[in-house]
Amino acid sequence: MVQSPILKQAFALDDGSCLDDPRVSVPVYPARVTPEGRIQVARVAV
């Protein structure tokens, strides 16, 4: 879960759905951590 600091809405990390309002969602971008410890985030949302 991640939360908006301004509107205080909570979002699921797996699908971007708002846990407080089912009409709201945010884009989700695949991410991974490389063996070297770098974080890579896709340019395109799923």
Residue boundaries of the structural domains of the chain: 1-46
At residue 10, the pLDDT reads: 98
For residue 34, name the pLDDT band (cuts at 50, 70, 90): very high
Taking the mean position of all CA atoms in its chain, how far away is CA 5?
14
CATH 2.60.15.10 is held by the domain 1-46: no
pTM score of the predicted model? 0.74
Q: Note whether 9 and 20 are within 8 A (CB).
A: yes
CB pairs under 8 A, 24+ apart, for 24-27?
none
Alpha carbon distance 26, 5 (integer Å): 15
Mean pLDDT computed over 12-39: 97
At residue 33, the pLDDT reads: 98
